[in-house]
Structure 1
Amino acid sequence: MLKVGIIGAGAAGYFAAIHASSQHNQVTILEKTSKSLAKVKISGGGRCNVTHAALEVNHLVKNYPRGEKFLKKSFQQFAVKDTIDWFESRGVKLKVEADGRMFPISDDAESIIQALKNEALKKQVTIKYQFGVSEIRFSSQKFELSNGKETLVFDRLIICTGGSPKLEGFDFIKALGHEIQAPVPSLFTFNTPSEPIKSLMGIAMPEAHVKLEGTKLSYKGPLLITHWGISGPAVLKLSAFGAKWLAEQTYKAKAHIRWNASWTEDGLMQDVNQFKTAHPKKKVSTNPLFGIPARLWEHIVLRADIKEADLWHEISKKQLNRLIQNLFCYIVAIEGKTTFKEEFVTAGGVSLNGVNPETMESKITPGLFFAGEVLDIDGITGGFNFQAAWTTGYIAGKHADQPKNNE
């Protein structure tokens, strides 16, 4: 019987613990707070976005700005279909929403929490709360974990501590010889404090295209104007792919917005000219085109130097070009970000170079495993971070469960 220690009582920690106990090993989760599965409880507005209906691995891996190649191997062992089967076989049926996100049919994260807790209880997993690991020593093939008051010894160790906003949060892992990629925030909205667009808060466009100026980074999807700037899935997902670049720019950049991703400049010009010819005496500002909300249309028109009272036949070619420009490439200055604290995700963590993607075992310290966001892996919104937690937790637990030849 092996003693397996797991640091962190989140999604990855629980899944690792459950799968590390199939040989009747003694499995203990160490949690620094007084609560477990806290992020599961609040995710998806309390509904828990368990995974995403990206059933093919080649499609699934495209949703990870960091870790795509690593996860391609890992998903061969445990992917979306396995997650669905695991929860449904324990009485938690999942449903797919229009955007591909998957939730329990109960729409309650508690369903997921109870399934995990019940399975951990069944497997006789022990949880030690308020045990903040301050030091790990590896000696004679054993791991000695200390919280400053007490020391526990394990044959295997799985680290599932999640992301940390500061590099120091990884010091105890660095001491074991692992390289750490400096953490930076991922999944955040763009603040535009000097832009008049803020006055249009509440307006949403269902399929916008957002690009970061001077890069190839872009994303399309729903866009929402807020009182601090621009948000919505298109922005959040773009922030994930651009996390490191934006951090290097100290969150000062320009975003180009095409209000509908399917538009072309020539197509817009043709449609606007047709409307202008057919309705020369209509006011430009009060006749929105292309399904654009009235307030946004009026703002775009005024930004093109077209006056509120101007009729279509009165506007110049220069004004018309500006109008098309603001429809096709509306430029906003980004000055800062707003991170969703309850759904905090970091880019960065334990470098994947030092971890085996097929076992989650350290290439440096035998018997040491990693799972979840502590790794330099992060997904965009939509259930992808949880899927990475289930996958890496499953693999780490399964392989930590196996005795070595000399045991």
Structure 2
Amino acid sequence: MIDKDVIIIGGGAAGFFAAINIAELNPKLNIVILERGKEVLTKVRVSGGGRCNVTHAEFIPQELVNNYPRGDKELLGPFHQFMTGDTIDWFEKRGVELKIEEDGRIFPVTDSSQTIIDCFLSAAKKNGVEVLLNQAVKAIEKDDSCYKIETNQGSFSTKKILIATGSNPKIWKLLENFGHTISQPVPSLFTFNIKDERINDIPGVVASNVEVKVLDTDLWSEGPLLITHWGMSAPAILKLSAFGALELAKRDYKFQIEVNFIRIPFDDCLDILKGLKQHLAKKIVYKLAQFDLPKRLWQKLVLASGMNEDTRWADLNKEQLENLANQLTSAVFNVEGKSTFKEEFVTAGGVHLKEVNFKTFESKINKNMYFAGEVLNIDAITGGFNFQNAWTGAYIAAQNISS
């Protein structure tokens, strides 16, 4: 039995951030990270297309929490203790310069996740944090004031334990044995699979500002929409997938969406089209894209409205005008499944939030058991928000574990 002061289960973003902060705050502590895989920080490596989207340029806690479909209320207090500005400061003090992109995402200036990985590995080594690989946890038991952890390679004991295993069903099962409730895990960030003549053959086309609703629900979102080989993606869709994670899972990812490509009401759109019929009478509808829509998308919607490639504006009848207004403002698409968004494996589900003290990130049920990251039932939309949750939880847990 190997005895340690602190054992961290999970060698990902939250686990390393916690370990480094604990070690810096209390150098006397003997800290070990147990990682089940053959390498650490794998999710950090692939995040942001290999650039590592460290956090997001939102500096007001009340605004930041709006990006978390689950965990928004619980994170408000913690974000007053450690959030975006603190994250930037933390990395820059350790030699990692960050940059803010136009959409608010924050990356290392090197545009390489390896920079973040090197920072963590270097800080862990410098502070004497031990990292053990291929340590799959088989059992966790509590004996008096001590936690005993059995892995496929040996046994460990510790007074303080931090669970930072992300969406790991086996660990969730072990936590249930400790009296914790696990909210049923379902995928969160995903794209919509759609086969439809109107978007076939135009992958890569972006409608820059759309509104999307899931029919028969209150779910809606806005933002850019990307047409892909499989259907639709980009922020407008990803926000819907995150905030609708539970509802869309119930529907087995088969549902209908309504897209307003121009974010103008039907009646207003129809009036504009009637004006265009007068002003562009001799022009061919198919050839001149309107409403700042990409040309290829405009052409698909024109054909779907019952016109051909030679129809002139002057020749449009009432039905065709109404059809076009419908396609532009309330086009309905059948979603038939989902796909993972890049390598963003995000899950809604995890340890029930009522069972955690968010002033310390300690279990309310088990003393000296702490949590950080996606092991909790907290998830966010894409853009660096999931990492910010990891940094905040790990930092606050570290403050308490080190004391």
Same fold, TM-score > 0.5, yes or no: yes
User: Does the 8 A contact of 1:195 with 1:333 survive in 2?
Assistant: no
SS at match of 2:378: coil
Amino acid across the alignment from 2:80: Q
Number of the residue aligned with 2:335? 334
User: Does the 8 A contact of 1:195 with 1:332 survive in 2?
Assistant: no
SS at match of 2:94: coil
Number of the residue aligned with 2:257? 255
For 1:92-111, what aligned pairs fall within 5 Å after superposition?
A: 92-111=96-115
Q: Which string of whole-angstrom CA distances, capped at 9 and with x for unpartnered residues, describes residues 366-387 of structure 1?
A: 0100000110000100000000
SS at match of 1:373: helix
Structure 2 residue runs without a partner (length 5+): none
Q: Which string of whole-angstrom CA distances, capped at 9 and with x for unpartnered residues, describes residues 272-311 of structure 1?
A: 1221111212222222111222221121111111233222
Amino acid across the alignment from 1:345: V
How many angstroms apart in 1 are the aligned matches of 2:102 and 2:16?
29
Number of the residue aligned with 1:181? 183
Number of the residue aligned with 1:117? 121
SS at match of 1:288: coil
How many angstroms apart in 2 are the aligned matches of 1:269 and 1:37?
53
SS at match of 1:153: strand
Number of the residue aligned with 2:296? 295
Number of the residue aligned with 2:30? 26
SS at match of 1:197: coil
Structure-1-length-normalised TM-score: 0.95
For 1:207-226, what aligned pairs fall within 5 Å after superposition?
A: 207-226=209-228
| Residue 136 in structure 1 maps to residue 137 in structure 2 | no
For 1:3-402, what aligned pairs fall within 5 Å after superposition?
A: 3-21=5-23, 22-23=25-26, 24-164=28-168, 167-168=169-170, 170-193=172-195, 195-261=197-263, 263-340=264-341, 342-402=343-403
How far has the Cα of 1:64 moved from its partner?
A: 0.4
Paired-residue identity, %: 44
How many angstroms apart in 1 are the aligned matches of 2:211 and 2:201?
21
CA-based RMSD of the aligned residues comes to 1.5
SS at match of 1:115: helix
Amino acid across the alignment from 2:209: E
How far has the Cα of 1:396 moved from its partner?
A: 1.3
SS at match of 1:285: helix
User: Does the 8 A contact of 1:64 with 1:379 survive in 2?
Assistant: yes
How many angstroms apart in 2 are the aligned matches of 1:2 and 1:135?
17
Amino acid across the alignment from 1:400: I
Structure 1 residue runs without a partner (length 5+): 403-407
Q: Which string of whole-angstrom CA distances, capped at 9 and with x for unpartnered residues, describes residues 331-367 of structure 1?
A: 1000000013622000001110100111000000001
Structure-2-length-normalised TM-score: 0.96
How far has the Cα of 1:217 moved from its partner?
A: 1.3
SS at match of 2:114: helix
